[in-house]
């Protein structure tokens, strides 16, 4: 994992804190700015130098806008950085997280950063997350790597427990980003399984990996069918975190297609360029387990990742083929590029047999969700409104964009097949809904289930908010927050 800054609580006040830069906040107000109360105290110690500099520079305190000025007599910091927090009335944990994410990129040449921002009402953790996430860089394959130099985040007036949780969640998100950014040639299904096993060894959860033989023995026809075109065999990764006495249990399922060429329904070259990202759901689930193992909530968490490549070859599945899934249902494959749902079908049926109180799957599943919501939001589908509400609430507290989409039963007829229980695609219209309806067929009766379609949000085309260009690690923060709520 990339080197990430470590947040620590310090006892010094802002003016006496020795650091490379002291980060303060300001709000947008009447076409100008208004310093936060803590920033105003530092400004007073600098004889009004901050306010004069901001006025002369035309600073408007827009969210994520950053201005840096040299330190002066009255403070111990070498420099002062002011980050815009936007409108005061709208400033919450999410806007803080996004604003400081941008600030972390601007301040990446500084080794130590004093943090003196408005962190009341539990906002400290959001600020720490934003700074860690904003400093992320994937530099593994750069011959002249330029990672962020930020090493220490010195929080004035913070508490260690808030910072510890924030660090765990942010590190897990960055772990998911690392997995997603890794080239498909080096992150194959077997390597992904080893990364999961390694995470379990560190965080304290159990990992079991089924190879091709076990998959055949257990009838995982969807996963085996998709993998048939690749020379690299599939894996089914099973993870379990189990506190000693908890009677509660939830299950996570993550799509782990480490590269998606489309199979015989071949993608064009441009649409293949980012298909190493097609295991973003698996990355989110594995990384969530790494956080759960460290946070130790009082709830059992099971996680399942079906992993394969989707490649064209003489042995690949063909349009018109029929696959028999775990549990016995059959699918007519009319488009081999709709492969994610085929492997998730096996995993959802298997997860249902484990008796969870709820199942949540995460997948880069459809281009349709990007047409509906753009590339910065996750689509949420669910067979249970209460579970959907839980996940929407968790996403808001985590600062991730999630929108509850409909599951229209009338669209189920799109999946009717003449030769199998269903086909794997319907018409082009409402494609994200139809894909979710297909997945629902494999969830056990009376089990609350939700599907997070992260096809757009899993990858950032450029830096924005707390996200760096590339894999975003989306859904990790939402899933951790949801699991913690369930545990309580």
Q: State yes or no: pLDDT of 125 exceeds 60.
A: yes
Classified as helix, coil or strand, 360 is strand
Phi, psi for residue 67 in degrees, rounded to 5 = -125, 135
Under the banding of pLDDT at 50, 70 and 90, the label for residue 252 is very high
Instruction: Please give the CATH architecture assigned to the domain spanning 171-487.
Output: 3-Layer(aba) Sandwich (3.40)
What are the residues whose beta carbons fall under 8 Å from the beta carbon of 284, sequence distance 6 or more?
176, 254, 362, 454, 473, 474, 475, 476, 479
List 464's β-bridge partners, or say none: 467
Put residue 187 in one of left, alpha, beta given phi > 0 → left and psi -120 to 50 → alpha. beta
Mean pLDDT value across residues 315-329: 98
Paired tokens of 213: 């033989």
Give whole-number Cα distances, 255 to 60, 285, 455, in Å: 43, 9, 11
For the chain, how far is it from start to end, CA to CA, in angstroms?
Answer: 31
- What contacts 24+ positions apart, CB below 8 Å, involve 29-33? 29/61, 29/87, 29/88, 31/60, 32/59, 32/60, 32/61, 33/59, 33/60, 33/61, 33/84
Q: Are 298 and 351 spatial neighbours (Cβ–Cβ below 8 Å)? A: no
Distance CA 343, CA 278 (A): 13
pLDDT for 161 equals 87
Put residue 161 in one of left, alpha, beta given phi > 0 → left and psi -120 to 50 → alpha. alpha
What are the residues whose beta carbons fall under 8 Å from the beta carbon of 43, sequence distance 6 or more?
35, 49, 50, 51
Distance CA 420, CA 443 (A): 18
- Beta pairing class for 300-310 and 402-404: unpaired
Q: Which residues form the catalytic set?
A: 267, 341
Distance CA 204, CA 198 (A): 10
Distance CA 446, CA 436 (A): 17
Distance CA 475, CA 262 (A): 24
Locate all alpha helices (DSSP H) within 296-383, ordered by sequence: 340-352, 368-373
Q: If we measure between CA atoms, which residue out of 441, 428, 456 comes closest to residue 383?
A: 441
What is the per-residue pLDDT across 342-357, written as a single tens digit (0 to 9) for each? 999 999 999 999 999 9
Q: State yes or no: pLDDT of 1 exceeds 80.
A: no
Classified as helix, coil or strand, 53 is helix
What are the residues whose beta carbons fall under 8 Å from the beta carbon of 217, sequence distance 6 or more?
none
Question: 160-181 and 280-295 are packed helices; what angle lies between their axes, rounded to 10 degrees?
Answer: 150
What is the per-residue pLDDT across 399-458, written as a single tens digit (0 to 9) for each? 999 999 999 999 999 999 999 999 999 998 999 999 999 999 999 999 999 999 999 999
Instruction: Provide DSSP, 167-179.
Output: HHHHHHHHHHHHH
- Give the distance, in angstroms, between the CA of residue 390 and the centroid of all CA atoms in the same chain: 17
What is the per-residue pLDDT across 25-64, written as a single tens digit (0 to 9) for each? 999 999 999 999 999 999 999 999 999 999 999 999 999 9
Paired tokens of 43: 């400004």
Under the banding of pLDDT at 50, 70 and 90, the label for residue 2 is low
Using a pLDDT cut of 70, give the percent of the chain over it: 100
Under the banding of pLDDT at 50, 70 and 90, the label for residue 122 is confident
pTM for the structure as a whole: 0.96
Give whole-number Cα distances, 476 to 93, 391, 396, in Å: 17, 12, 13
**CATH 3.40.220.10 in the chain, residue ranges:** 6-157
Q: Read off the DSSP letter of residue 418.
A: S
Paired tokens of 223: 């996963």
Class of domain 6-157: alpha beta
Mean pLDDT value across residues 305-320: 98
What is the per-residue pLDDT across 139-175, written as a single tens digit (0 to 9) for each? 999 998 888 899 999 999 887 888 999 999 999 999 9
Using a pLDDT cut of 90, give the percent of the chain over it: 94
Question: Where does 147-282 show beta strands of DSSP type E?
Answer: 152-156, 206-210, 235-241, 249-254, 256-260
**CATH 3.40.630.10 in the chain, residue ranges:** 171-487
Q: State yes or no: pLDDT of 361 exceeds 60.
A: yes
Q: If we measure between CA atoms, which residue out of 483, 475, 488 comes closest to residue 176?
A: 475
Q: Read off the DSSP letter of residue 419.
A: S
Distance CA 179, CA 112 (A): 27
Torsion, Cα 91 97 100 105, to 10 degrees, reads -150
Q: Are 158 and 124 spatial neighbours (Cβ–Cβ below 8 Å)? A: yes
Classified as helix, coil or strand, 26 is strand
Q: Are 434 and 415 spatial neighbours (Cβ–Cβ below 8 Å)? A: yes
What is the per-residue pLDDT across 66-90, written as a single tens digit (0 to 9) for each? 999 999 999 999 999 999 999 999 9
């Amino acid at each position: 994992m990339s080197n990430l800054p470590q947040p620590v609580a310090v006892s010094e006040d802002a003016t006496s804190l020795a650091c490379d830069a002291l980060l303060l906040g300001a709000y947008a107000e009447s076409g100008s700015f208004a310093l936060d109360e803590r920033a105003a105290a530092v400004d007073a110690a600098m004889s009004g130098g901050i306010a004069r500099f901001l006025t002369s520079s035309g600073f408007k305190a827009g969210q994520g806008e950053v201005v840096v000025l040299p330190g002066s007599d009255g403070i111990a910091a070498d420099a002062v950085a002011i980050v815009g927090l936007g409108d005061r009335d709208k400033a919450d944990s999410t806007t803080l997280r996004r604003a400081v994410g941008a600030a972390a990129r601007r301040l990446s040449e500084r080794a130590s950063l004093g943090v003196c921002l408005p962190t009341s009402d539990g906002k400290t953790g959001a600020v720490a997350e934003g700074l860690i996430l904003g400093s992320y860089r994937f530099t593994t394959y750069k011959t002249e790597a330029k990672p962020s130099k930020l090493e220490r985040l010195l929080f004035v007036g913070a508490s260690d427990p808030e910072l510890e949780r924030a660090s765990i969640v942010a590190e897990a998100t960055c772990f998911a980003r690392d997995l997603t950014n890794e080239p498909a040639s080096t992150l194959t299904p077997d390597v992904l399984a080893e990364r999961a096993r390694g995470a379990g060894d560190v965080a304290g959860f159990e990992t079991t990996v089924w190879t091709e033989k076990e998959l055949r023995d257990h009838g995982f026809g969807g996963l085996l069918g998709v993998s048939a075109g690749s020379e690299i065999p599939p894996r089914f990764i099973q993870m379990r975190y189990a506190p000693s006495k908890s009677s509660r249990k939830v299950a996570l399922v993550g799509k782990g297609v480490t590269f998606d060429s489309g199979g015989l329904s071949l993608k064009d070259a441009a649409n293949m360029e980012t298909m190493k990202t097609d295991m973003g759901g698996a990355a989110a689930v594995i990384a969530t387990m790494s956080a759960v193992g460290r946070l130790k909530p009082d709830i059992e968490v099971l996680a399942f990742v079906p992993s394969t490549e989707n490649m064209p070859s003489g042995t690949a599945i063909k349009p018109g083929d029929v696959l028999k899934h775990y549990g016995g249902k059959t699918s007519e494959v009319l488009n081999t590029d709709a492969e994610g749902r085929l492997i998730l079908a096996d995993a959802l049926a298997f997860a249902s047999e484990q008796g969870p109180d709820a199942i949540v799957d995460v997948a880069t599943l459809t281009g349709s969700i990007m047409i509906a919501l753009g590339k910065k939001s996750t689509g949420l589908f669910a067979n249970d409104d209460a579970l959907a509400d839980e996940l929407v609430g968790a996403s808001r507290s985590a600062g991730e964009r999630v929108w509850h989409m409909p599951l229209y039963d009338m669209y189920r007829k799109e999946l009717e097949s003449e030769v199998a229980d269903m086909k794997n695609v319907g018409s082009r219209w409402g494609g994200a809904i139809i894909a979710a309806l297909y997945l629902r067929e494999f969830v056990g009766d009376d089990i609350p289930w939700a599907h997070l379609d992260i096809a757009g949000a899993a990858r950032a085309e450029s830096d924005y908010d707390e996200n760096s260009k590339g894999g975003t690690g989306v859904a990790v923060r939402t899933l951790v927050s949801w699991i913690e709520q369930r545990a309580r």
